[in-house]
Structure 1
Amino acid sequence: MGSDPGMRALLLAFALGVIALQQQPVLPAGSHALYALIPLSLAPALTWCARHRSEEHRRAMELASRGLLAMAIAALGFFYAGWRAEIRLADALLPAWEGRDIRVVGVVDELPQPVDRGIRFAFVIERTLTPNAVVPSRVSLAWYADREPSGTTRPGPEVHAGERWDLVLRLKRPHGTVNPHGFDVEGWLLENELRATGYVRTEDSNQRVDAFAGRMADYVARARESIRDRILKALADRPYAGVIAALAIGDERAIPSEQWQLFNRTGIGHLISISGLHVTFFATLMGAAVFWSWKRIHALTTRLPARKAAALAGVAGAFCYVLLAGFQVPAQRTLYMLTVAAIGLWLGRPGSASAVWLWALAVVLAFDPWASLTAGFWLSFGAVGLLLYIGVGRIGRMPVWKSAVRAQTAITLGLIPLMLVLFQQISIVSPLANAVAIPVVTFLVVPLTLASIALPWDFMLVAAHQIFAWLALLLETLSRLPDAVWQQHAPSAWAALLGALGVLWLLAPRGVPGRALGMVWLAPLFVLLPLRPVPGAFQMTVLDVGQGLAVLIQTHAHALLYDTGPRFNESADAGNRIIAPMLRALGVARLDGLVVSHQDSDHSGGALSLLQTVPVDWFASSLPPQNSIVRARTLGGKPAERCIAGKRWTWDGVDFAIIHPVEANYANPKLKPNDLSCVVRVSNAYGSALLTGDIEARTEADLVRRDPASLPADVLVVPHHGSRTSSTPAFIAAVHPEIAAFTPGYRNRFGHPRPEIVERYASAGARGLRTDYDGALTFTFAPGSSREPRLEREHDRRYWRETPQRGLAALDH
């Protein structure tokens, strides 16, 4: 079963080839796969030639032959993943059908999830009723409740997994925000085979065709939904009902963000899902039960040994559990490892643990080439790989408690590089939290939860919930400890590689010299900080936050954030989903200044979450005193200033100035919030930038009349995202920018930026850039720097990301 080192090398080569494909900016041409035939043909030739050489030359040639074969298998994995990617990308929504009504018939393909004012679900399209429409086979849909003229909402129809519906949809191609160190929405959509997103239109023709479509997948989805509904009903109003549902069926979306924060701070997030440990425990129970029963029936043991029957039962139980869990990567990995081990047992050729691990790795990537895009893939295989590594060469048996401590220590230390790369944080209290949580969750909470699925006794669910609630009390205590979590910048790739080598050296078996020196190799992870602008220079990043605005200004030792982007829903906004993670990855531990230009939610939506997670030294806005953001700031005992024209300051040789609004503007009841936007100018010896919020024509004219000397700027963040109510010819002429940065959302319902406004800037000689097309825009104002910004979508290219065709951004009403 692959215990031979050569086979293990080939499995690893295949996996590395698949993983390498996911780092490519473009897909390779299929004809290039022919190059893989070169090492594939040379390998057997070398092997044949080696037979007629001396012992020394024969070994060298055999080694070279194995290397060539590994290269060929790596190329096979690379081009196999490319072939799979071509097939998936070909299943696409044509640009001409974006934003148009399309009538289809299809099946609800997964558990519907509640969202603000509606539900969201995956939908498999079986037939397209709109003539000539070309749509992908699987899409992500939202179905929102209708708004009544009175302002109230009318609940939509109930939607269940496995139902067939006739619906009118409005779709758009996969598109997400692209920022430094940001979450890759488009990659996530590709991995989950969601080739378009959209929503259900309010139409009388929308109707349920079949209550149950009857596909194989529908039986599983309906069973999962039934279990989830029963759990949430039995545990109604209990705080950890979502956790119990996650442990039963792998559906984590009912867990509030506050609880996820607790689990991540204490390092037990891996337990709040169907983890490999849970699957292994369940399979062991199933196998042990069958083994015990089988041995007591002589007629059965004469036909099939009890060990083989137990292995078969364990794999079958694991498969059912993984199927119930939604086939997540950690659960898949365990299933495949158990399957490989069982096959080896049946064939009488049990493989080594490392061979089983590599077979599971190769099979996961063969079924899902995009698995490596998920953090769960790396954490799951990384943790098991570390456990296998520390077991190499060990002689004798350890006490159970000592073995558990050793394993937890290895995982805690071994995953440091990976945790810093993926999350830029490490839970210091994780070893203690896991020492309690792993046995409690694995041996008490999970068995009670699974037993409640088979038996109609809700008291088991209540008991499981109560045990977890007691555990949560400990977690909350640990989470409140000072320095419970270490947070820092994202390490560079080479620092992460050195850290990984240091971990392997540190955890090497006894007898390996200088193991303590592995700690030295970990040092670059922590001490090598991201480069900052030199004194007198500044860097400006216009973030891609969708329809909204957020701009980060960094000087040598200071950071200012102008606006905080939009609020997405009740629990998510640009502050906690985009800005805070980026600040942490860049090594910005605190903001020296935060300016919220005005109260519109696409500019202020992320402010509250940022104030809760990032220390802010100085705060200014045009918000009224009763605004929740101002109140949150003042209730914390910190001042909240008003933006007043004339305020100026200098950080590290970089000049900042607020040039609007003036004091009298706040007393004018006829002035709209947009026209109260704080306008900030940032300048140094190498250039200047003007941040304008949502000011409109009235304020633009006032600025041209009142303070024209402060308006000229090399880079202008265009007022109001390019609305026709702003960007008057006189204002553009006064600013005379080299670059006009537009910040609209992709296919936004307002039609920003308006074509006539884009043309107006072009006619004035300004180069237009758009965050929805180009991703985040990073400008550097420093000695010797050009005005050419870093376009994040181009800088961090991936084959699944495409730049929308300019000029085709039809309105998405």
Structure 2
Amino acid sequence: MASVGHWQYYLQLSSEQTSQPVQIIGKVSSLVIAEQNIRFNLNVTQLDGQHLIFSKTFRLSWRDPAWKIQQGQQVKLLVKVKPPHGLANEAGFNYQQWLFSEGIIATGYVKPHVDNQLINDAKTIRQSLLNQMLAFELPHSSWLAALTFGYRGLLQPEDWHLVQKTGVAHLIAISGLHLALVASLSYVLIAWMGGGLISRFYSLHYLNLHYIAILLTLFSTLTYSALAGFGLPTLRAWLMLLLFSTFFLRNKNLGAKSLILLSLTGFVVLFPLSIFGLSFWLSFSAVIIIGFVFWRWPVKKGGFSLRALLSGMIKVQLCLTVLMLPLVAWQFSYISIVSPVVNLIAVPIVTMLLVPLCLMAVICLAIKPDWALELFFLANLMVSYGLKFLDFALKLDAAYFNLPALPPAVWFLVFLFVLCSCLPSFWLNKKYLWILLLPLVSHVITPQTHTWQIDILDVGQGVAVLISKNNRVIIYDVGASYPSGFNMADSVLLPILQARGLSKVDLVFISHGDNDHAGSLPQLLKGIQVTQVLTNQDNCQQGLDIVWQGLSIKGLWPDNALKYNDNNGSCVIKVSDTYHSILLPGDIDQSIEKQLLDLHPEQLQTDILLAPHHGSNTSSSIDFIHGVSPEYVIFSQGFMNRWRFPRQEVIDRYQRYNPLLFATSRSGQISFFVEYNSAAPITVKTFRNDIYPYWYAN
């Protein structure tokens, strides 16, 4: 892995290649459906005229493409890219780690240019089949695309919420479960057809039908993996099938434990970066748990019986749910109560009926499109009833409940408790196992503390600040929302509040109406209860004076927001206890800074300053910096943003007074821990250096 790490760093682009547009030639590797505002992966083979020995994967967006981008096309594009980077906060999706696990070494966008051209319009078979299926315009084509081709780009956030909270997310993407089904069907059909053929011709009797069926099954499942775009979950299952078949054909006995270990080893060697993705751990954990179930409760030999089959399915599903619970709760901070029952019904229907139906429809696309339409229509009807069932399950009382984020060690002890409860007694005295749950109970009970916490969140080019005390919270600004639907409330604020076990926000201050400060407010109000919102148009103005849990919140500006432009009408507040404080000035410029110095010369002095206007050169005058005299200064801005915030001149001005400087683009979330009404020094932690300081995520 050390070698892999050095290799990945070697493949990174140079600073020259990320500081200016570059011309690239490559092949589109992603399925693409949309015709505007598209996002796709490109395997780059030529960079600025230089042929690459090893191709590099770029993830690009293109607002108004000059032609319809499709998987398999070879293109020549002028792009502006930057190193892989993502928001770095204590909760929410770690995009940067995901990019690394996928081997993506740059992200960026396509620039309009006369030299952009489509070199080769050859589409992949997978893209062509998907296009044919979508042309039928079925109501649930987004679900059929996920089930049939592993393409999930058409699913909406509410769709993901539905399948995640009911515990069936693993069914909507082509995975090992689907490949096992295809393998079984292929083997049975080949053996049945081959047996009929061989029995009629004496000259073929020397053939080993068993071996032929296994080899052809390997080929058919590899074809199915190609249909899924060679997704890693499918490749993991195919690798296990290949190992099993190889040892079986060579008459070598391979136990379940050896098969899992060899598959694990082979997959890490072939796809080493995949271990940094959660899918790897979830997949192998599930396989190991299934192996454990059959070891602990072996299937009794005997003839087939429906009762035995149902009993085995229930046993496996319950054990999977219970033993995977600590891992799922640790990673996703929720527990689905309806998941075991929903999976017990959904798994056989999806794998035994819906997926085979979709596969037959795909085969018919190439032979008889009219038949394909009928089959997809039937599959669409099944999906429709399935979604109604999932909606019903999700609306049940206590269908799922959210959990606060707990340390991995706590969930490991919970897992030990569940595992030991399932094991035979041996020397264990199970009545003492409850001791393993004590850390869980102690973390659920939230103590009152004498510390208040300030978190400047990493929301890209924007601002969002949490101030919390005794399991209650207030928010200053909420970050941006974008036309694509991506917003900082859903991706940053709400995950953090959920991870901390908070169900209510006391106060939300909106400095001004710019998108990067207020854009995510509607999504925040939809996702959590907010007691009061104060904006610069109403209560968040000069003269505001609130006491919140002993902390003083004072409004220093504006006197009247309507007299100024958006930035200069920003609500400026100071939050303090007896000894320590933070000043939050929004996007004011130097003219307002001067007025603040005249109005509140002493109140401006603070320990922590959020730099005005993200570090723009129009703000942070020398007089203002001197008047505030901060010990810590934070720039909240986007990575490699187009305005080059914070400007070097601004940094130079701050450095004259030697405060500690932080930037969210470099440090991620920055957290300050302050002892309430105490002169004790402030403790500072940053996400990238202290909370999650792993090389593959930074």
Q: TM-score, normalised by structure 2?
A: 0.92
SS in 2 for 1:603: helix
Deviation string 1:461-510 (CA, Å, 9 cap, x unpaired) is 12111111111111112212232212111221211221121121122247
After TM superposition, the structure 1 = structure 2 runs for residues 787-806 of structure 1, keeping only pairs within 5 Å, are 787=682, 789-795=684-690, 796-800=692-696
Does residue 1:162 correspond to 2:58, yes or no?
no
Contact 2:102 2:274 in 1 (8 A): no
After TM superposition, the structure 1 = structure 2 runs for residues 406-425 of structure 1, keeping only pairs within 5 Å, are 406-425=315-334
| RMSD of aligned residue pairs (Cα, Å) | 2.5
Deviation string 1:232-268 (CA, Å, 9 cap, x unpaired) is 22135x1x31111111111112111111011111111
Residue matched to 2:304: none
Contact 1:179 1:775 in 2 (8 A): yes
Contact 1:506 1:517 in 2 (8 A): no
Residue matched to 1:656: 553
Contact 1:122 1:138 in 2 (8 A): yes
Residue matched to 1:469: 384
Residue matched to 1:251: 151
Contact 1:489 1:530 in 2 (8 A): no
Contact 2:167 2:343 in 1 (8 A): yes
Change in 2 beyond 3 A, CA 1:135/1:607: farther
Amino acid at match of 1:255: L
Residue matched to 2:216: 313
CA deviation after TM superposition for structure 1 residue 752, in Å: 1.3
Q: Distance in 2 between matches of 1:381 and 1:132?
A: 38
Amino acid at match of 1:409: L
Does residue 1:609 correspond to 2:513, yes or no?
no
Contact 1:188 1:373 in 2 (8 A): yes
Residue matched to 1:102: 22
After TM superposition, the structure 1 = structure 2 runs for residues 476-491 of structure 1, keeping only pairs within 5 Å, are 476-491=391-406
Amino acid at match of 1:420: A
Does residue 1:142 correspond to 2:50, yes or no?
no
SS in 1 for 2:410: helix
Over 4 Å off, 4+ runs: 130-136, 509-520, 529-533
SS in 2 for 1:708: coil
Amino acid at match of 2:313: A
Q: Distance in 2 between matches of 1:101 and 1:300?
A: 67
Change in 2 beyond 3 A, CA 1:243/1:784: farther
Q: Distance in 1 between matches of 2:86 and 2:639?
A: 8
CA deviation after TM superposition for structure 1 residue 753, in Å: 1.4
747-756 vs 583-592, greater mean Cα deviation = 583-592
Contact 2:561 2:570 in 1 (8 A): no
CA deviation after TM superposition for structure 1 residue 323, in Å: 2.2
After TM superposition, the structure 1 = structure 2 runs for residues 48-197 of structure 1, keeping only pairs within 5 Å, are 81-112=1-32, 114=34, 117-129=36-48, 137-145=56-64, 156-197=66-107
Residue matched to 2:239: 336
Deviation string 1:290-338 (CA, Å, 9 cap, x unpaired) is 1222233135873343332332233222222122212333322321222
Given candidates 457, 461, 477, the residue that maps to 1:543 is: 457
CA deviation after TM superposition for structure 1 residue 163, in Å: 1.8
Change in 2 beyond 3 A, CA 1:133/1:548: farther
CA deviation after TM superposition for structure 1 residue 703, in Å: 2.2
Amino acid at match of 1:608: P
Contact 2:103 2:273 in 1 (8 A): no
Change in 2 beyond 3 A, CA 1:557/1:87: closer
SS in 2 for 1:618: strand
After TM superposition, the structure 1 = structure 2 runs for residues 587-736 of structure 1, keeping only pairs within 5 Å, are 587-622=501-536, 642-662=539-559, 665-668=560-563, 671-736=564-629
Alignment coverage as a number of residue pairs? 680
Change in 2 beyond 3 A, CA 1:113/1:578: farther
Q: Distance in 1 between matches of 2:422 and 2:236?
A: 23
Does residue 1:524 correspond to 2:439, yes or no?
yes
Residue matched to 2:310: 401
Change in 2 beyond 3 A, CA 1:292/1:577: same
Contact 1:503 1:519 in 2 (8 A): no
Contact 1:530 1:587 in 2 (8 A): no
Given candidates 458, 463, 487, the residue that maps to 1:573 is: 487
Contact 1:739 1:766 in 2 (8 A): yes
Change in 2 beyond 3 A, CA 1:801/1:528: closer
Given candidates 339, 342, 347, the residue that maps to 1:438 is: 347
Change in 2 beyond 3 A, CA 1:588/1:460: same
Given candidates 407, 429, 434, the residue that maps to 2:338 is: 429
SS in 2 for 1:399: helix
After TM superposition, the structure 1 = structure 2 runs for residues 214-253 of structure 1, keeping only pairs within 5 Å, are 222-236=124-138, 238=139, 240-253=140-153
Residue matched to 1:584: 498
Q: Distance in 2 between matches of 1:427 and 1:156?
A: 45
Q: Distance in 2 between matches of 1:742 and 1:651?
A: 26
Q: Distance in 2 between matches of 1:660 and 1:454?
A: 67
Residue matched to 1:449: 358
After TM superposition, the structure 1 = structure 2 runs for residues 369-388 of structure 1, keeping only pairs within 5 Å, are 369-388=272-291
Change in 2 beyond 3 A, CA 1:406/1:517: farther
Residue matched to 1:747: 640
Amino acid at match of 1:793: R
Change in 2 beyond 3 A, CA 1:281/1:713: same
Contact 1:92 1:136 in 2 (8 A): no
CA deviation after TM superposition for structure 1 residue 690, in Å: 0.8
Contact 2:541 2:572 in 1 (8 A): no
Deviation string 1:145-173 (CA, Å, 9 cap, x unpaired) is 2xxxxxxxxx6322222222222121211
Deviation string 1:372-395 (CA, Å, 9 cap, x unpaired) is 222222222112211111211435
Contact 2:79 2:111 in 1 (8 A): yes
Change in 2 beyond 3 A, CA 1:134/1:340: closer
After TM superposition, the structure 1 = structure 2 runs for residues 296-307 of structure 1, keeping only pairs within 5 Å, are 296=196, 297-298=198-199, 302-307=205-210
Change in 2 beyond 3 A, CA 1:721/1:132: farther
Unaligned stretches of 5+ residues in structure 2: 302-306
Unaligned stretches of 5+ residues in structure 1: 1-80, 146-154, 213-220, 624-640, 803-813
Q: Distance in 2 between matches of 1:656 and 1:558?
A: 15
Amino acid at match of 1:480: K
Change in 2 beyond 3 A, CA 1:797/1:435: same
Q: TM-score, normalised by structure 1?
A: 0.79
Contact 2:45 2:52 in 1 (8 A): no
348-357 vs 467-476, greater mean Cα deviation = 348-357
Residue matched to 1:504: 419
SS in 1 for 2:455: strand
Deviation string 1:629-677 (CA, Å, 9 cap, x unpaired) is xxxxxxxxxxxx6323333333333222233233xx1443xx2122232
Does residue 1:558 correspond to 2:472, yes or no?
yes
Q: Distance in 1 between matches of 2:62 and 2:186?
A: 41
Amino acid at match of 2:354: V
CA deviation after TM superposition for structure 1 residue 609, in Å: 1.9
Q: Distance in 1 between matches of 2:246 and 2:50?
A: 51
SS in 1 for 2:567: helix
SS in 1 for 2:279: helix
Deviation string 1:7-60 (CA, Å, 9 cap, x unpaired) is xxxxxxxxxxxxxxxxxxxxxxxxxxxxxxxxxxxxxxxxxxxxxxxxxxxxxx
Change in 2 beyond 3 A, CA 1:366/1:694: same
Does residue 1:281 correspond to 2:196, yes or no?
no
Amino acid at match of 2:357: L
After TM superposition, the structure 1 = structure 2 runs for residues 198-217 of structure 1, keeping only pairs within 5 Å, are 198-212=108-122
Amino acid at match of 1:449: C
SS in 2 for 1:685: coil
SS in 1 for 2:78: strand
Residue matched to 1:4: none
Change in 2 beyond 3 A, CA 1:491/1:801: closer
Q: Distance in 2 between matches of 1:615 and 1:389?
A: 43
